[in-house]
């Protein structure tokens, strides 16, 4: 009942003031619910106020980073499933071809970057999360892949120089080139979500703005998606694991 009332207030506020506000007024789960119910497509930008820090940033990164070149696939999948308390197969779906065309970040003309300098982005397609990053230069997913050694620097650099994505999500493009498999893509997507979204659920002092129909960044996307409801459940499980 409380959640429904909060969602109603958010809908009214959106109609009056537009898709922006603070996390003090509306929680991230409430915003996620609004995005899913409205099957929105665009980018949700979150800008912490000056002086705000994420207490668990360092621990979060070290806890969820699973090296791509260590251990077998079953071990890594089991580790992620145990940490986040949810089965990957139950929440991941392939990127739908009916969604708006994706674009490389340099093609995105967003007023968000100029006016508000947000440093957290969550890209939504038809109410589902398709990517998340704390930068707007299209290097977030590439940095994650390099950091965790899913693909070597040399191989990744050669592929990116030699081939064109043709607006295809980076993850699916790497899979089509035989560099990553489906299980690895699911794990990378899970890490991307946990590292970028979990800290935001602990954040209260921040502004948010949703830019409707913003182009989707191919370089930040694995080609997988998750509903905002499932993402909220995943975050809750992850926070319990971290606090425990």
Residue 95 has pLDDT above 50, yes or no: no
Residues 42, 124: contact at Cβ < 8 Å?
Answer: yes
d(CA 59, CA 180) in angstroms, rounded, equals 27
Which of the two residues, 10 and 238, has the higher pLDDT score?
238
d(CA 148, CA 146) in angstroms, rounded, equals 6
Q: Count other Cβ atoms within 10 Å, centred on residue 41.
A: 20
What is the tens place of the pLDDT at every residue in 113-124?
333 344 899 999
CB proximity list for 215: less than 8 A, separation 6 or greater:
100, 101, 102, 103, 107, 108
Q: What is the mean pLDDT of residues 132-157?
A: 94
pLDDT number for residue 240: 82
Residue 58 has pLDDT above 90, yes or no: no
Distance, CA of 244 to chain centre: 24
Q: Phi and psi for 46 in degrees, rounded to 5?
A: -125, 125
Would you list the domain boundaries of the chain? Answer: 2-243
Structure tokens at 191: 């890490």
- Whole-model pTM over 0.75: no
What is the pLDDT confidence band of residue 205, given thresholds at 50, 70 and 90?
Answer: confident
What is the tens place of the pLDDT at every residue in 221-234?
999 999 999 999 99
pLDDT number for residue 67: 40
Name which of 191, 149, 202, 221 is nearest 61 in CA terms.
191
Q: What is the rounded average pLDDT for all residues in the chain?
A: 75
Residue 83 has pLDDT above 90, yes or no: no
Distance, CA of 12 to chain centre: 26
């Amino acid at each position: 009942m409380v959640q429904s009332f909060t969602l109603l207030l958010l809908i009214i506020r959106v109609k009056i003031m537009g898709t922006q506000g603070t996390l003090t007024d509306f929680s991230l789960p409430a915003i996620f619910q609004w995005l899913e119910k409205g099957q929105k497509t665009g980018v949700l930008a979150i800008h912490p106020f000056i002086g705000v820090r994420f207490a668990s940033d360092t621990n979060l990164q070290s806890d969820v980073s699973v090296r791509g070149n260590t251990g077998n696939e079953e071990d890594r999948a089991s580790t992620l499933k145990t940490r986040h308390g949810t089965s990957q197969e139950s929440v991941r779906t392939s990127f739908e071809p009916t969604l708006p065309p994706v674009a490389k970040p340099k093609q995105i003309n967003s007023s968000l970057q100029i006016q508000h300098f947000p440093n957290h982005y969550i890209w939504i397609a038809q109410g589902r999360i398709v990517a998340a990053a704390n930068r707007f230069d299209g290097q977030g997913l590439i940095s994650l892949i390099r950091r965790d050694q899913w693909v070597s620097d040399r191989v990744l650099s050669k592929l990116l120089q030699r081939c064109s994505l043709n607006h295809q999500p980076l993850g699916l493009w790497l899979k089509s080139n035989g560099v990553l498999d489906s299980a690895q893509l699911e794990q990378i997507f899970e890490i991307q979500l946990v590292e970028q979204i979990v800290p935001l659920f602990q954040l209260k002092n921040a502004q948010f703005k949703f830019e409707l129909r913003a182009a989707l960044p191919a370089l930040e996307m694995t080609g997988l998606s998750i509903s905002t409801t499932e993402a909220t459940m995943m975050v809750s499980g992850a926070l319990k694991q971290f606090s425990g």
